[in-house]
């Protein structure tokens, strides 16, 4: 599944020799020269652009996610997850009246990290109760989703986001479309995950 995605990402990476800009950022972070914040403040311009993409149709997020089953991260903005993560995937479930997300991060070394959190849906975005982070679903079609992540009380910064695909199958053209939309929104997908992640 990675061929078109890899080409798309590689064509947009900032390089210096064979080292990407992400490598520099991670190196600075490890040396303590860079403060990594959880998320930047929600950009109303990006949110308005997302609403234009929706048109008259607002994504039915959690019900669709439960039906999709396992969804696997294939690309993110820099430092969206810790740099030692090999794979990240999630499953949404509904218990009585509460939706929950079961998120699993698989590091290159050591045991996987699994977290279960309650999650609510509002108009086009999801939120964990008691937290200020929102995930706007800019695109959710054909087994592919593009998420814009931001916080209501953070500082302004680069747009953060991720692309996930349905493990049981997805539309390759929709994946390309999601990546193109990310670029238009200013979400730089410079980190890709190995194709084997879909089989985790």
Kindly report, residue by residue over 124-161, the tens digit of the pLDDT.
999 999 999 999 999 999 999 999 999 999 899 999 99
Percent of the chain having pLDDT more than 90?
A: 74
Confidence (pLDDT) at 30:
33
Mean local confidence (pLDDT), 101-130: 96
Bigger pLDDT: 62 vs 34? 62
The three-state secondary structure class of 30 is helix
Expressed in angstroms, the distance from the first to the final Cα of the chain is 15
Q: Taking 80 as the threshold, does the pLDDT of residue 9 lie above it?
A: no
Show the domains of the chain with their CATH numbers.
44-198 (2.40.128.20)
Q: Taking 70 as the threshold, does the pLDDT of residue 198 lie above it?
A: yes
pTM attached to this predicted model? 0.81
Question: Which residues fall within 8 angstroms of residue 12, CB to CB, at 6 or more apart?
Answer: 183, 188, 189, 190
Confidence (pLDDT) at 29:
34
Confidence (pLDDT) at 196:
84
DSSP string of 147-194, one letter each residue = EEEEESSS-----EEEEEEETT---HHHHHHHHHHHHHHT----EE--
pLDDT-derived band at 16, boundaries 50, 70, 90: very low
pLDDT-derived band at 31, boundaries 50, 70, 90: very low
Beta bridge partners of 105: 88, 113
Confidence (pLDDT) at 43:
97
Percent of the chain having pLDDT more than 70?
A: 81
Confidence (pLDDT) at 35:
31
């Amino acid at each position: 599944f990675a061929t078109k995605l890899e080409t798309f990402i590689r064509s947009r990476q900032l390089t210096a020799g064979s080292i990407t800009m992400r490598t520099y950022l991670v190196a600075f972070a490890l040396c303590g020269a860079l403060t990594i914040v959880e998320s930047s403040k929600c950009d109303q311009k990006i949110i308005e652009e997302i609403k234009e993409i929706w048109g008259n149709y607002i994504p039915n997020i959690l019900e669709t996610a439960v039906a999709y089953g396992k969804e696997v991260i294939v690309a993110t903005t820099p430092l969206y997850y810790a740099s030692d993560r090999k794979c990240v995937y999630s499953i949404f479930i509904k218990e009585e009246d509460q939706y929950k997300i079961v998120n699993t991060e698989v590091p290159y070394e050591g045991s996987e990290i699994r977290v279960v959190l309650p999650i609510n849906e509002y108009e086009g975005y999801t939120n964990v109760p008691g937290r200020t982070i929102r995930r706007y679903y800019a695109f959710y079609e054909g087994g592919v989703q593009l998420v814009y992540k931001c916080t209501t009380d953070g500082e302004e910064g680069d747009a953060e986001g991720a692309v996930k695909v349905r493990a049981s199958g997805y539309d390759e053209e929709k994946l390309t479309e999601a990546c193109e939309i990310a670029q238009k929104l200013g979400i730089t997908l410079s980190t890709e995950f190995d194709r084997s992640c879909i089989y985790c």
